[in-house]
Amino acid sequence: MNIDKVIAGFFIILAMTVNFGFFYGDMGDIELHSKYELFAAIVVNIIATLLKLGDRTQMGSVLLATSLVAVIQLVIAASVWTIFGYETISREMFGIVIALSGGALLANITSVVLYVSETVKSKR
């Protein structure tokens, strides 16, 4: 068992699940979306991105690109939420935060699908 692959896979899947935890729920209800969970999603996505930096394969490049997309969208979502105020943000602006989180979730799902397909294709 390759411990580096286990750790990388763990963070790739954790990034997706934490992001899903933030994204899931009514877009207009701020009470269903925790700022701490958004922060955790950003941190875990950054860790997953850093773990992908050493891979010099074509698949590694695609995985890195999906992680960068997710990190950028989550950081923009957190910035919008911060700029417009955690307690006073309008439904429209909060919808943008959730939409950006959904885009990051799609990038995370793509990353997980690619990672799993690469794992299935690899031979011992």
Domain of 107: which CATH number?
A: 1.20.120
Q: Domain for residue 36, yes or no?
A: yes
What is the structure's pLDDT at 57? 87
Identify the pLDDT of residue 124: 56
Q: Identify whether 123 is part of a domain.
A: no
| Cβ atoms within 10 Å, residue 48 | 28
pLDDT at position 65 is 95
How many structural domains are present in the chain?
1
Output the furthest CA–CA distance in the chain (Å, rounded): 55
Is 124 part of any domain? no
Domain that holds residue 65: 3-118
Residues contacting residue 44 through CB under 8 Å, at least 6 positions apart: 11, 14, 15, 18
- The string of pLDDT tens digits covering residues 65-104 is 999 999 999 999 999 999 998 778 888 899 999 999 999 9
Q: Classify the C-alpha dihedral 49-61-20-4 as positive or negative.
A: negative
Q: Are 44 and 52 in contact (CB under 8 A)?
A: no
Q: Is residue 51 part of a domain?
A: yes
Q: What is the pLDDT of residue 62?
A: 93
**Residue 102 dihedral angles phi and psi, to the nearest 5°:** -65, -40
Average per-residue pLDDT in the chain? 91
Confirm if 83 and 8 have CB atoms less than 8 A apart: no
- Residue 112 to residues 17, 28, 34: CA-CA distances in angstroms? 10, 28, 24
pLDDT the model gives residue 28? 75
